[in-house]
Structures are given as structure tokens and as C-alpha cells.
Chains A and B, each alone.
Chain A
């Protein structure tokens, strides 16, 4: 196999980890696993009420998807952590729906404190230093119903139908709360990015 050290060095400096994986660069594999392994593991632990070997199986599953999806990552469209988080979220929620009883999920969600917009919330004390932190601030600006819907959808993996049952709301209301919440958060982030003259404030996976 021909090894082009000059190009390799250039790639290591300029390309993101996923771009290097997609380009067939073995050296990026370990780096990527170390960079995002803990994030994926934490998500799996949080979403899945399962034995450790099930968690490990889910993490392995997510990484197979990350490797195969690496070629779809476009850094001009957003951050690499957000791209990885989106993949991890989808895979783990799929698994959660497959193996975890809905009652257990609901119990877990109810036991987990919902981040609030109050003065003492850890979210409201976050300085606007990057897009994730701005987004966390944006979340605290949502109404309680919107935050609840987002929390149940993203962290509970509940379908709109299930959120409707859990919150005693019609499914149409759930859908419009989720849509409004996502649009409001995007608008908030977009405005803050312009305020702070951030050049790149875009999303990841499309």
C-alpha cells in the first residue's frame, strides 16, 4: 500500500476525525473512539435502563453506525459532536423502544429532574460561549409545556402518541409544542450567533 506521509500530515491537521475515517485513515479510528466514546456511553447509560453488557452492546452498535456514516459528515454544515450525538440518539432510542418497557421509561423520565428556567437552574447560569451553551440557554427560555415535550421526546424517546398520554394532551398539541420549541430554539441561537459575530453556527447531520 502506498503511504503518502505529506498528505497524511496535511489531513491530520486540516480534516476532522470523521472525514479522516471516511477517507480510510486508520489512525483516526482510535482518536475518534476516545473523543466520542464517553459521550456515546453516557447517552446509552442515560437512555437505557439495562445491564452493563446491554449498554456496551448499544455503544458498539452506535459506533458501527458512526463508522458507516462518517462519509456523510460535512463540517461546513455543523459540528462533529452534534453529528455524533444525533446518530447516537437515533440508534439508542431505537434500541430503547425495542427492549425497554414504556412504563419503565416513563418512570425514569419522571424521576429525572426536568431542567427548568428558574434562577437557580444550572442552565440559566451558563455563559454564552459556544453554540451548545447558547442552545442550553435557549431551552431555558421555552415554556414549561415545550420543555416537557422536548425532554420526553429527546431523553425519553417517547413517541408523540406516548407523550400525549403521559401529559394528558392531544397528539396535535404535542406535535405543535415540539415544533414550536425547535423553531424557537433555532431562532434564539441564530440571533445570539449574529450578536456574537460567530462565523460558524450551524448544525450537523442533515
Chain B
């Protein structure tokens, strides 16, 4: 019984930590285990507190209204994603219990459409005997079918684009959000202890006839091929203005420099030690080299390596 209480207390501790964003990997794992074991209620204290605070906020009225354009845009994104869901359900053979577009107010329009459809069917029956009527009907049906296909295609494209945009935004946020330095430091130290993790010191990224843009940068890369995870540590990296330029990480595996993969962009926002986590997002082979360049805000797909900073090359073997 005591053990059960202790587990419940621990569950609520971890749940509290999760809601204020302080779970590490081990805690997450423990919470998952307790969740599956205990099946307790999970009060959304955070969400309810936000709603509670909102109830008593006295923002000026002009700050409380959505413009018609914004409302239209929100609804358009909703319709695009709902259409995508409906298409998916349709392809999986599920019956969709929904009005296809625009909302309950359109029930009347559907009734009207049904009446028109009945009238149309009656009319069609009347003219069916006539060859000209048949041709018109066939032609119209073809045009309607083509238009519907096109509409479905466009709605699908819009939904895909919105999902991609969302993913891209998440990626940008992931790489640009300053993480808690003490947390990153602890993760880096932990990774050093994992077998097969390598630690490589930075060197100036000089090329024949052209020196690196910054010198005297200390620090290293800690990287593990199996986990695809690593941390970059810099001391002495110049503070950048993210509105003008950002640092970009390049990960180069054994295929060589031409096949470089972006490991993300980051900012050096303090004069002291900067630690950045690196997750290239795709599977790489044995990483041979890490390089840092300076690029336009947001980074680039293909760097001309004109503004080079430092490089960390893995030794052979």
C-alpha cells in the first residue's frame, strides 16, 4: 500500500515537472512507465491555470478582437486540414459524418442543393431520350468530375504545404530556442561517458590562400555516431546579430565535403562558453568532419563556404 502511495506521489511529481517543462530523458521514461502502470487521472493544471488567469485579464477591447482576415485565414487552414483528414478516412473506407464545407449554416444550402439535384435528375430523365441531352449531361458530368478532382488536389496541396510549414517552423524553433546551458552541459558530459563517443577540438577553418574569419576559438565537438547526437562547445565565438547573420553547422560524413549536411543554425549570444546541441535529422554514416560557417539568417541549403569559422576533423581509424 505504501509502495502504491509512493508511486502515486512520484507520478504527480513527474507530472508537475512535465507541465513546467523540466523533465529529462530518464524522468520521461519513468513517467511513461508510471502512466502505464497506475492509470491515474492527469489534471491539466497548467492549461486550467492559463484559462483561469485569462478569465481575469482586463486587456483593452481593441486587443481582444480577431480581424476578419485573420479569422478567414484560421478557418482556411482548418478546412484544409479537415479536408485532408476526410480524404484519409475516405481512402481507409470510413464513412464521413460531416458536411463537406463551411459549416452548419450551410445545412440550408445543402437542402437547396438537394432540391436542385432532384429537379436536375427529373430534368435529366426528361432529356435522356434525346441524344443532345445525353451529350450535354456527359459533358457537364465530366467537367464537374474534373473540377472536383482539381479541388481535392489543391486542398491536399494546401494541407501538405501547411504541415510542411509547421514542421519547418518547429525545426527553426528547435535550433533557435536558447536551451538551458546547465542542462546542455550535463547532457554533453553524459554523452562523453557513452561508449564510442568522440571528442574533437576545433581548429581554424583555413583554406589555401584564405584564412578563417575568426581565430582563437577554443572548444570541441562531442559526437556519437550510433545515437546521431552531439554537442558543440565554443569559447570565444563572436556574438552575432541573428537578424543579420547566423552560425551554421555542417556535418560531413565519409562521402566528403560535397555531401555536407546542415546540422542547423545557432547564435552566439554570450561572450563566455556557448554550448549547442546538434541533431542532423537524417541518418549519417561515420561522421568525418564538423564545420561552422556564417550564413544569412535561417541558414542555407548549400554553403559557398566563403565565411568559414572553425572545423573539427576526426582522426583516421
Contacts and interface: CB of A to CB of B under 8 A. Distances in A.
B54 A86 contact: no
B177 A97 contact: yes
B110 to A, nearest CB: 7
Contacts of B42: 77-78, 202-203, 206
Interface string B12-30: 1101110111100000000
Contact of A185 (B49, B73, B75, B100): B49
A123 B53 CA distance: 9
B95 A4 contact: yes
Contacts of A144: none
Given A67-B81, A94-B177, A201-B43, A89 B100 contact: no
Interface in A165-183: 171, 175, 178-179, 182-183
Interface string A102-121: 00000000000001000000
Given A22-B85, A94-B173, A203-B47, A8 B97 contact: yes
Nearest to A24: B86
B301 interface: no
A45 to B, nearest CB: 5
A88 B51 CA distance: 11
Contacts of A153: 20-21
B181 interface: yes
| Residue of B65, B70, B178 with highest tally of chain A CB at under 10 A | B70
Nearest to B22: A175
Contacts of B300: none
Contacts of A71: 85
Given A38-B65, A98-B173, A183-B13, A60 B73 contact: yes
Contacts of B176: 98
A191 interface: no
Contact of B103 (A4, A30, A43, A190): A30
A95 B135 CA distance: 57
Contact of A202 (B43, B165, B178): B43
B166 A65 contact: yes
Nearest to A94: B173
Interface in B134-189: 162-163, 165-166, 169, 172-173, 176-183
Contacts of A97: 173, 177-178
Contacts of A204: 44, 47-48
